[in-house]
Homo-oligomer: A and B are copies of this chain.
Amino acid sequence: MPDSSKRRTTTRRRRRIRSAGNERREQPPSQPIISAIPKLDVLSAPQLEQLHEASLAILSQTGVIFGSDGAISHFRRAGSRIEGKRVYIERDLVAECLAAAPEQYTLHARNPINDVTIGGDTCAVMPGGGPAFVRDLDGKRRAGTHADVEDFTRLSAVSPEVQVVARKAVEAQDVPVQVRHLDCWYSTLTLADKPIQSGFVGGAPEAEDVLQMLEIIFGGERAIDGTPVMHCSVNVNSPLHYDTPMVESLMLLARYGQVALISPFVMAGVTGPTTLAGALAQQNAEVLAGLVLSQLVRPGTPVLYGTASSNLDMRSAAPAIGSPESAISIAACAQLARYYGLPCRAGGALTDSPVPDAQSNYERMFTLLTAVLSGSNYLMHGVGILESYLTLSYEQFVIDLDLINMVRHLVGGLDVSAETLALDTIHDVGPGGFYLETEHTQRHYREAFFMPEISVRKSYEQWQAEGSMDAVARANARCREMLARYQQPPMDSEAANRLYDYVERRKLQLLRKPD
C-alpha cells in the first residue's frame, strides 16, 4: 500500500470513529434461526455407532500427526503412544475429553444485544469469508479489496439474519499481506458490533495481535479469558495432519477459552477415501483429535464440531461443494455432533456456480436447508459464496438473506392453538364462503405470512411494468439501498482510540520488518 493511500485511509478512519458515538444506531438486533421441529437424521443408530467406532480405530491404530512439540507434550502427559510427531489416541481419552467439552456456549459481541447462543436448537449465520474474488455490483468478477471488506461488513451489520461477522469477507488484495489482518480486524471491529469469525493463517503471531485487539475492545487485559468472543477456524491438513500454524492456533485459542471451529476439508477421492462413509469416519477422527488436544490444554474450553468436507468432481477434478455428497456430509456431521453433545458447524449456502444464477441458488438452498434441518448450529459461509468458496457476491449475499428467512420460518414450525385453528371462523364462513374480510383475517393478516424482500409474487403484467427484473437485478438494487442506509454503530471512544493506535503501531512495525 503506497503511503499516500495509507494516509487517506487513516484520516477517513479517525473521522468515522469520532462521529460514530453521536449517531443514532439503526441496526436491528441479530436474530438467529431457532428450530422448533425434530432434527433430520440421515444415519441410523447402528450407522452412527459404526462411524464412531471406525473413527476410534483410526485414532488408535493409524494416528494423527501434530506439527508442534507443545502438542506432543500434552499427549505424552495424557499417556498417549507417540512415534515422532504421530500420536495414537485411545478411546478412553476421547471419551474423557468429549465429556469435558461444553454442549453450548454464548458467543459474546461488543454490543451485548448481539450475543448469540451456539448450540441446542439455535443456528447462527456467518457470511462467506476469505474468497480471493468479488462479484461486484457492476457484474464484474475481480480481485477483492479492502473497500469490499468494509462494504461486506456493513451489509453484515445491517442484516439481522447475520449473527457473526467474517473478519475477512474477502482477501483485501490491495493491502500488503503482512498487515492485512490488522486492517481487516480494525474494520470488522469498528464497522459492526457483532461477534467475529476468523482464521489464523499466520499462526501464533497473527493470533497474538488479534487477541490483544479483542482485549482492547472488551475492556482490557484478560477481559476475554474464558469468555468466548470469536470463532476461529482450525483447518486440518487432511488426512490426519495438523500442521504447525493450525495446531498453534488451536492451543492458543484453548488457552484463552476462545472457540476453535475444527473444520476438516476432506475432499473425498483426494484427501479422504472415495466412499463417503470412509471420508466421514476419517473426518470425524480428525475433529476428535483436535478436540482432545483442546481439552488437554484447557478442559471445558468450547469447541465447535465442524466440517467443510465434500467430494471431488471426477470429470473436472474440481471440488463439488454444492453436491449431494456435500449435503449428506453436512447432515451426517450434524448428527455426529449431536451424538457427542457438541455444537456443530456444518454447511452454509454452498455452490460451485461461478455466477449468481439458477445453479447457485438451487445448490445453496439444498445445502442450507439440509444443514438447518439436520441441526447445524452454525452456518459458516451462510451468505454470498459462489464458485466453490472462491468468490463473494454482493447480489447473492442479499438474495441469501431471503433464503435464511424462508428456512427460519419452516423450522419455526406451526402454531396450533384455538386462535390459529379458527374453528369458529371456519364455521361462520361455511362451505363456499370467503375469508378475506373476516375479523380473524383482520387480526392476523399483517403477521401471518413471511414477506420476502427479493422474491416476487405478482402478475406477469405488473412484473413487466416494473421493469422485468430477475431476482439478481432486484438484489442489486436492494444491496445498494442497504449500503446507503448503513450507519456505523457507536464505540466507546477511549477503546476506539486505543484500537486505532494499536493497529497503526503494529502496521509500522510489520511494514518495516523485512519479509
Q: Give the B-binding residues of A (Cβ under 8 A).
A: 37-38, 40-43, 47, 50-51, 54, 57-58, 61-65, 86, 141, 237, 239-241, 268-278, 280-282, 311-316, 318-320, 322-325, 327-328, 331-332, 352-366, 369-370, 373, 387-388, 390, 396, 399, 402-403, 405-410, 413-417, 419-423, 425-427, 429-436, 438, 440-441, 443-446, 448-452, 454-460, 462-463, 470-472, 475
Contact = CB atoms under 8 A, between A and B. Distances in A.
B328 A358 contact: no
Contact of A403 (B277, B362, B417): B362
Contacts of A363: 406, 455
B239 A430 contact: yes
B239 A433 contact: yes
Given A268-B448, A359-B361, A369-B365, A273 B425 contact: yes
Nearest to A433: B239
A437 to B, nearest CB: 10
Given A239-B426, A446-B314, A449-B311, A365 B361 contact: yes
Contacts of A450: 323-325
A112 B430 CA distance: 45
Contacts of A359: 361, 454-456, 470-471
B457 A316 contact: yes
Contacts of A63: 431
Nearest to A57: B423
Given A434-B271, A435-B273, A445-B314, A278 B58 contact: no
A276 B62 contact: no
Given A268-B449, A358-B357, A62 B431 contact: yes
25 contacts: A42-B410, A57-B423, A86-B431, A239-B435, A240-B430, A241-B431, A269-B436, A269-B445, A273-B440, A274-B440, A275-B419, A275-B444, A277-B416, A314-B445, A314-B449, A315-B451, A318-B457, A328-B414, A353-B456, A357-B470, A358-B361, A363-B406, A365-B369, A366-B406, A369-B369
A171 to B, nearest CB: 15
A421 B56 CA distance: 12
Contact of A373 (B62, B240, B373, B406): B373
Contact of A269 (B37, B42, B277, B441): B441
Find the residue from A278, A280, A323 having the highest chain B CB count within 10 A. Answer: A278
Find the residue from A358, A430, A455 having the highest chain B CB count within 10 A. Answer: A358
A432 B241 contact: yes
Contacts of A403: 362, 366
Contact of A471 (B141, B357, B431): B357
Contacts of A50: 416, 421
A327 B362 contact: no
Nearest to A312: B449
Contacts of A444: 274-275
Nearest to A281: B421
A172 B58 CA distance: 62
B282 A460 contact: no
Given A273-B420, A354-B460, 9 more contacts: A43-B413, A47-B414, A240-B432, A277-B415, A277-B420, A278-B426, A316-B457, A356-B358, A390-B460
Given A370-B369, A431-B240, A426 B362 contact: no
Contact of A426 (B282, B405, B446, B448): B282
Contact of A65 (B328, B431, B463): B431
Given A42-B37, A313-B449, A278 B239 contact: no
A373 B271 CA distance: 30
Find the residue from A64, A313, A388, A417 having the highest chain B CB count within 10 A. Answer: A313
A159 to B, nearest CB: 17
Contacts of A47: 414, 416
Nearest to A366: B365
A319 B459 CA distance: 10
A318 B471 CA distance: 18
B457 A319 contact: yes
Given A61-B427, A239-B433, A416-B47, A141 B460 contact: yes
Given A314-B449, A359-B456, A454-B359, A416 B51 contact: yes
